[in-house]
Amino acid sequence: MKFGEVAAGDELPPADITVTRADLIRYAGASGDFNVIHWNDRVATSVGLPGVIAHGMYTMALGGRYVSDWAGGAGAVVEYGVRFTNLVPVPDDDSGATVTFSGKVTKTDEAASTVTVTLTALAGGQKVLGKAIAVVRLP
């Protein structure tokens, strides 16, 4: 993606990303976040959760990957922020949960050669990220 090819209002092609228990275990190991609610139903339900939930940071990371894949490189992301608004329960089956990402270019800054993308992440019909905004620098 080149800066000149992008205009405010452009939409990113939506993408469905599945999240299984195996993904959560792998992310726990890679990130060092071993909070039990991300792998143990017994503990998750005992603290009032519907069951094992995805790490908010995992959902955020998938959104970051969605934007950087569109931008054409992970190094392009200069700012990225989200609010965690809803849980992503991940059932103990082979299909797991599906998070649907979409995005829209909301601003372009010619001086900085940056583009602002506002992301939407839906799981189970609910927005799981709020104020999800990434700023990417394009050549």
Partner 1 sequence: MGVNPEIVGKTYTGAPVYEVGREKIREFAEAVRSADPVHTDPEAARAQGYADVIAPPTFAIVVAQRCEGLVMADPDAGIDYSRLVHGEQRFTHHRPIVAGDRLTSVAHVDDARVMAGNGRVVTRVEITDAAGEPVTTAVSMVLIRAEDEK
CB 97 within 8 A of CB 54: yes
Shortest gap between Cβ of 23 and partner 1 (angstroms)? 8
Determine, following the binding rule CB under 8 A, whether residue 57 of this chain makes contact with partner 1. yes
Shortest gap between Cβ of 89 and partner 1 (angstroms)? 15
User: Beta strands 11-19 and 129-137: pairing type?
Assistant: unpaired
Q: Which is nearer to partner 1, 8 or 35 (CB)?
A: 35
Determine, following the binding rule CB under 8 A, whether residue 70 of this chain makes contact with partner 1. no
- The residue behind tokens 């103990």 is 92
Q: Which is nearer to partner 1, 8 or 74 (CB)?
A: 74
How many residues make contact with partner 1 (CB under 8 A)?
32
Nearest Cα residue to 21 out of 55, 57, 56, 65: 55
Q: What is the CA radius of gyration of the chain?
A: 16
Determine, following the binding rule CB under 8 A, whether residue 74 of this chain makes contact with partner 1. yes
Name the strand (E) or helix (H) holding 25.
Answer: helix 21-31
- Which member of 52, 60, 119, 122 binds partner 1 (CB under 8 A)? 60
